[in-house]
Amino acid sequence: MTPAFDVSDLVVTYGGRTAVDGVSLAARPGEIVALLGPNGAGKSTLLKALSTAVPPDSGRIEVFGHDTAVDPVAARRRIGMVFQEQTLDPDLPVERNLWFHARLFGLPRAQARARIDDVLHQFDLADRRADPVEQLSGGLARRLEIARALLHRPGLVILDEPTTGLDPDVRRALWADLRRLRDEERVTVLYATHYLAEAELADQVAIIHNGLLVRGGSPAVLKAELAATALRLSTADDVVAEGELIRAGFDASSTTDGLLVRCAQPERRIAEVVRAVTVPVTEVALREPSLDDVYFATTES
Ligand code: ADP
């Protein structure tokens, strides 16, 4: 099966400074892929190279089998792009913004009209079609940008930090939209985020740091790669227990996750930990790693 995108050994530099440093990453049609990493990691640059906005120094990018260096036009036709900054014309009505994009992609008039109607209904924007974009809320404007990106029926939608500045309800609605696209239309969704919670929603996560892909896989596989690194205790008095554990030489701390004792192979230390505490211990559990643990274990080095 032809991958939706296939990036191999991609290097992108800006004036001698390396922003993407030999990244390889591919996705099957219908996958949701998150690029997760701190600001400056190289996520935007990778997305821009994929969408042919920035030329690679070396490496290869294919979009549905089209090499972006050989046939950038064919590659671009398969991509719908939602940029980090808003790129709608605020003075123009919703529908005119869509017409403008349809023309850009050379859609014949009748086809453009039908697609504009489709996406307006699909994204619940039909009753706002005559309103200037500046009258839309931030959330609706984002929906319109996604709707616009889909006009030419791309198989791959690329979104750079799509939920920045949106409130939690609007974010949830946007994620529901993206999952619907994957489930109903088998659109591949690639997005950059620095929110761990948003990476959790992806089928595949690529953790990017200093231009390198430092770890990749499904959220479940990434978590499974990290062995449990802590015990979580419930006691009759966590404050007393924490003091006792610290005095006994354990790395104990009260967290929002409970009283944690961090150590290697925590399953072997249970008896020892319980013995160090004089207050009644009501529960001891291995704390399974979260995506946060994976992320921090990967990027804090
Ligand atoms: P991210 O999207 O993860 O925040 P970027 O891809 O924007 O990361 O940036 C990666 C690196 O490239 C950073 O060091 C950034 O300063 C640099 N960079 C990004 N865009 C440009 C540019 N147009 N010119 C020069 N340097 C850039």
Answer whether 40 contacts ligand 1 (Cβ < 6 A). Answer: yes
Domain end residue (candidates: 207, 223, 239): 223
Identify the domain containing residue 285 by its residue range.
Answer: 226-299
Q: What is the dihedral of CA 34, 36, 39, 41, to 10 degrees?
A: -100
**What number does the ligand 1 atom closest to the CA of 161 have?**
2
Ligand 1 centroid vs 194 CA: distance in angstroms? 14
Ligand 1 centroid vs 7 CA: distance in angstroms? 19
| Ramachandran quadrant class, 120 (left: phi over 0; alpha: psi -120 to 50; beta: rest) | alpha
Q: Which pLDDT score is estimated for 224?
A: 79
Answer whether 53 contacts ligand 1 (Cβ < 6 A). Answer: no
Nearest CA to ligand 1 atom 7: 44
Q: Are 9 and 22 a contacting pair, CB within 8 Å?
A: yes
Cα 12–142–199 angle (5° rounding)? 55
**What number does the ligand 1 atom closest to the CA of 208 have?**
3
Cα 229–282–294 angle (5° rounding)? 20
Q: Are 280 and 236 a contacting pair, CB within 8 Å?
A: yes
Q: Which amino acid, residue 147? A: A
**What number does the ligand 1 atom closest to the CA of 35 have?**
3
Predicted structure pTM score:
0.84
100 with 27, same domain: the answer is yes
Ligand 1 centroid vs 45 CA: distance in angstroms? 6
> CA neighbours within 13 Å on the CB side: how many for 126?
9
Length of the chain as a residue count: 301
Ligand 1 centroid vs 297 CA: distance in angstroms? 23
15 with 36, same domain: the answer is yes
**What number does the ligand 1 atom closest to the CA of 20 have?**
10
- CATH number assigned to the domain comprising residue 283: 3.30.70
> CA neighbours within 13 Å on the CB side: how many for 218?
5
Answer whether 41 contacts ligand 1 (Cβ < 6 A). Answer: yes
257 with 131, same domain: the answer is no
Query: Starting from the edge strand earliest in sequence, which strands make up the sheet with 66-67, in order?
Result: 17-27, 5-14, 58-63, 66-67
Rounded Cα distance between 203 and 211, Å, is 22
Q: Which pLDDT score is estimated for 211?
A: 97
**What number does the ligand 1 atom closest to the CA of 37 have?**
3
161 with 230, same domain: the answer is no
212 with 244, same domain: the answer is no
Nearest CA to ligand 1 atom 5: 42
Domain end residue (candidates: 198, 223, 248): 223
- CATH number assigned to the domain comprising residue 192: 3.40.50.300
Q: Which pLDDT score is estimated for 177?
A: 87
Nearest CA to ligand 1 atom 10: 42
Nearest CA to ligand 1 atom 15: 40
241 with 218, same domain: the answer is no
Q: What is the pLDDT along the chain (301 residues), one digit of tens a residue?
A: 899 999 999 999 999 899 999 999 999 999 999 999 989 999 999 999 999 999 999 999 999 999 999 999 999 999 999 988 889 999 999 999 999 999 999 999 999 999 999 999 999 999 999 999 999 998 899 999 999 999 999 999 999 998 887 888 888 888 888 899 899 989 999 999 988 888 888 999 999 999 999 999 999 888 877 777 789 999 999 999 999 999 999 999 988 878 999 888 888 999 999 999 999 999 999 887 788 878 887 877 5
208: tokens are 């990017």
**What number does the ligand 1 atom closest to the CA of 211 have?**
10
DSSP 229: -
| Ramachandran quadrant class, 253 (left: phi over 0; alpha: psi -120 to 50; beta: rest) | beta
Domain end residue (candidates: 170, 198, 223): 223
